[in-house]
Structure 1
Amino acid sequence: MIDIFFKNHEYKKLGGLNNNNYLINYFGKKYVLRIPCKENKNDFSNENLILELLNNENLSPKKIYHNPESGILLSTYLNSSNLTFNDFKSKKFLKALTKELKKFHNIKNDNIKTFNPFLEIRSNINNLKKLDFKFDYDIDIFLNKVDLIEKKYLDNKSLGLCHNDLNISNILYKDNKVYFIDFEFSGICDIYFDLATISWFLNTDERMFLLKSYFGEVDGFHLSKLYDYLYIVKLWNASWSLKKSLTAKSDYDYKLGGNLILDSIISYSPS
């Protein structure tokens, strides 16, 4: 299909697990075209609303076209720096990131849907159980910890508009300014879900700096909640990956990826 629309223009395939992404050179101007894979069943109407809100705040590349039913998205191309993990861990980048992330979290709109990672994890795992999925662990061990963490913060939530998939590939960096892309999972959630996702590959000192850059101060509560939500972030990613393994047609081994995450969190105990 891409050949039909752009047969007279340059294009190249970009990375992506859940979508087909293309860089288009159209009469000398560059755009990014995203076409969701058939198995991608995310709520694109919610994403459409979020894209509109972000365009007004200069927090993402400008949207040219978005179909709220199919999820097809055409946006301007931003020639950003190629972020390495060393860049990602630097104080300069973390300061720039938290500055824009706070703007993102403070966007208000009553029509934005809620993203509840606790319910998402339970749903993914229960669906796998119904299909008699062969887990490498007693999966209820993980679910019991989910219950403990959810109960712990029932009366201490910090809700905001969250990206909910803030891995390095969904963050652009140009001239010390951060932009975000890919909002399929975005919704109202506890902001610690985003902070924990960012902290996944940071060490303790870098996590402390992240929290201080965001909140201005750090105490035991901030760090404890970050680690608890890091568990939730990892388990959500693991459960999503295991579920994805049942339908994925790519070369990536989703089951192995999910199990590697479970290996890394099996010993975690919520404080």
Structure 2
Amino acid sequence: MDKKLKKIPMIKIGGLNNSNYLIELQNEKYVLRIPSNDTSNNFYSEHEILSLIKKYNISPEIAYHNKDNGILLSKYIDSTKFNLEFYNSNTFINNLVTTLKKIHCLECNNYFNPFNEIYNNIDFLNSVNFIFNHDINLLVTKLKDLEIKLCKKIHYGLCHNDLNTSNILSCNNIVYLIDFEFSGMGDIFFDLATISWFLKDEIQDELIKKYFGYFDIELKQKLKDYLYVVKLWNATWSYKKSIDSKSDYDYRLGGNMILDDLINY
């Protein structure tokens, strides 16, 4: 399968951690995802999750997935172009919640602990003498306090764990999710907080209301607390990528921009 794909014309359509290409096979459009060589993602776990969600219309139809190297071929979906106005619309939030509640009700054998992930990232960065532009110890102290608080009550479910806009597609009032390399069981607020990163405050309230059927201050505070966790995870992940990435994207700058925001959070 991999050798055959090399002979088919491919149009690059973006990708940060992966390279994505639009291809046409037998008059059908597909997206070919080729992971970067420096990735350490668990594609065996992703394969399990793709099989699990297959019947729930959560992700585009999968034609091929290699659980050893992560190469994936899926049906192309002509998604609505995202902008802040669309992202902050009630229509998008309603459709997104419908999809999220489908996946959050499922169970898999993989687990994702964002706190451990962040601590491990920082340990690695310290081991290679990475120079932080911010007081990382201050940020970790805040994280440890949040970990104690947030682990007292967990809203447990199968989470995507990387819901940036490049992993969300919207077509005909249906929201689809792609790229499940980081997915696993955990607190669904990690997903909700990732979504909330670029939501207006009142739309964050709407997200809570649509998801839970009601709104209260406790849920809103948990969302805010998890947004700190999400941002610190993204920053430390970016720093790790900056060490040996061949991408033109400046991962270190991306991490610094996140921590500029978190240092006074």
Q: TM > 0.5 between the two?
A: yes
* Aligned-partner Cα distance in 2 for 1:54–1:72: 18
Instruction: Determine the structure 1 residue equivalent to 2:211.
Output: 214
Instruction: Determine the structure 2 residue equivalent to 1:16.
Output: 15
Q: Could you tell me the TM-score, scaled by structure 1's length?
A: 0.94
Instruction: Label 1:258 to 1:205 Cα distance change in 2 as closer, same or farther (>3 A).
Output: same
Give the partner amino acid of 2:178. Answer: I
Instruction: Determine the structure 1 residue equivalent to 2:35.
Output: 36
Instruction: Label 1:8 to 1:121 Cα distance change in 2 as closer, same or farther (>3 A).
Output: closer
Give the partner amino acid of 1:187. Answer: G
Q: How is 1:191-202 mapped onto 2 (pairs within 5 angstroms)?
A: 191-202=188-199
Instruction: Determine the structure 2 residue equivalent to 1:87.
Output: 86
Shift of 1:155: 2.1
The question of 1:45 aligning with 2:48 is answered no
Q: Is the 8 A contact 2:194 2:230 kept in 1?
A: yes
- 1:100 alignment partner, SS class: helix
Shift of 1:199: 0.4
Shift of 1:237: 0.2
- 1:31 alignment partner, SS class: strand
Q: How is 1:105-254 mapped onto 2 (pairs within 5 angstroms)?
A: 105-109=104-108, 112-254=109-251
* Aligned-partner Cα distance in 2 for 1:8–1:67: 18
* Aligned-partner Cα distance in 2 for 1:19–1:153: 32
Shift of 1:28: 1.2
Q: Is the 8 A contact 1:9 1:27 kept in 2?
A: no
Shift of 1:7: 6.7
- 1:245 alignment partner, SS class: helix
Higher relative contact order by CA 8 Å / sep ≥ 6: 1 or 2? 2
- 2:243 alignment partner, SS class: coil
Instruction: Determine the structure 1 residue equivalent to 2:25.
Output: 26
Shift of 1:18: 1.2
Shift of 1:76: 1.2
Shift of 1:250: 1.1
- Aligned residues between the structures: 265
Q: Could you tell me the TM-score, scaled by structure 2's length?
A: 0.96
* Aligned-partner Cα distance in 2 for 1:212–1:6: 45
* Aligned-partner Cα distance in 2 for 1:44–1:172: 21
Shift of 1:3: 11
CA RMSD of aligned residues (A): 1.5
Shift of 1:94: 0.3
Instruction: Report the identity percentage.
Output: 50
Structure 1 gap segments, 5+ residues each: none
* Aligned-partner Cα distance in 2 for 1:188–1:176: 27
Shift of 1:140: 0.7
* Aligned-partner Cα distance in 2 for 1:21–1:5: 17
Shift of 1:10: 3.8
Instruction: Label 1:124 to 1:218 Cα distance change in 2 as closer, same or farther (>3 A).
Output: same
Structure 2 gap segments, 5+ residues each: none
Q: Is the 8 A contact 2:107 2:185 kept in 1?
A: no
Deviations 1:28-75 (A, max 9, x none): 111111111110110000000000111111110111111111111111
Shift of 1:106: 0.4
Shift of 1:4: 6.5
* Aligned-partner Cα distance in 2 for 1:96–1:18: 26
Shift of 1:107: 1.1
Instruction: Label 1:204 to 1:28 Cα distance change in 2 as closer, same or farther (>3 A).
Output: same
Shift of 1:99: 1.1
